[in-house]
Homo-oligomer: A and B are copies of this chain.
Amino acid sequence: MEDFKTIEVKRSIFEDNDADAQRLREELKAEKTFLLNLMSSPGAGKTTTLKRTIEALKGEMKIGVMEADIDSDVDARAISGTGVRAIQIHTGGMCHLDADMTRQGIREFGTEDLDFVVLENVGNLVCPAEFDTGSTKNAMILSVPEGDDKPLKYPLMFSICDVVLINKCDTLNVFDDFSKEAVKERILKLNPKAEVIFASAKTGEGFEKWIQWIRKEIREYQVL
């Protein structure tokens, strides 16, 4: 028997996703649950990042992970091994989550006792950027092998994120045409307030900055 549940969510019946997302944000605020919407291309390292994040923070707060996927439960299986609560959300072929789909997951999961919930969105740089999930903050991971031109090609995604983790920095010597300066400049041009963090979830290099960002955001959220 698996130690995580799998639920199938249905497309929202609400016309106005933005208003619905705002309602969900207020519901989460009332229970002091910080929801981080984590987005990236397929294979940028969301699950590896999550595993290391859980390892660093599970002693200080109650964490839950909602894994959204079109199919499969590879990621929920990986996360359930870390000892935190996990749920697998199947989107039924949909390429993104909207606020009501997120709420269906949240309600089934039960987040009242959790401080920090990560929603691992579908691996896709296009559609998830168009739908506010009701999350407290948006994070994205761009991995070095994908190239430093991605902000030029997927500008909306980079515009809506509060933090961009540049992952797999341990491979910068292999992908030597990737310029840290160029990618940071392109991101900040689209989104001057974005926090840009260079790290490797595999080796742990630079990872403390990411952990500090999360810690600070949650602290401010719970106090305000």
Contacts and interface: CB of A to CB of B under 8 A. Distances in A.
A46 B152 CA distance: 16
Interface residues of A, number: 32
Given A42-B153, A153-B71, A153-B74, A145 B122 contact: no
Work out how many copies of this chain go into the complex. Answer: 2
A152 B67 CA distance: 14
A153 B69 contact: yes
A149 interface: yes
Interface string A37-69: 000011100000000000000000000000001
Secondary structure at the A interface, as helix, strand, loop or mixed, is loop
Contact of A42 (B69, B71, B125): B125
Interface in A134-165: 143, 145-147, 149-150, 152-156
A106 interface: no
A123 B41 contact: yes
Nearest to A75: B153
17 contacts: A41-B123, A42-B150, A43-B146, A70-B156, A71-B153, A72-B152, A74-B153, A75-B153, A95-B124, A122-B126, A123-B125, A123-B126, A123-B153, A124-B125, A127-B127, A145-B171, A171-B174
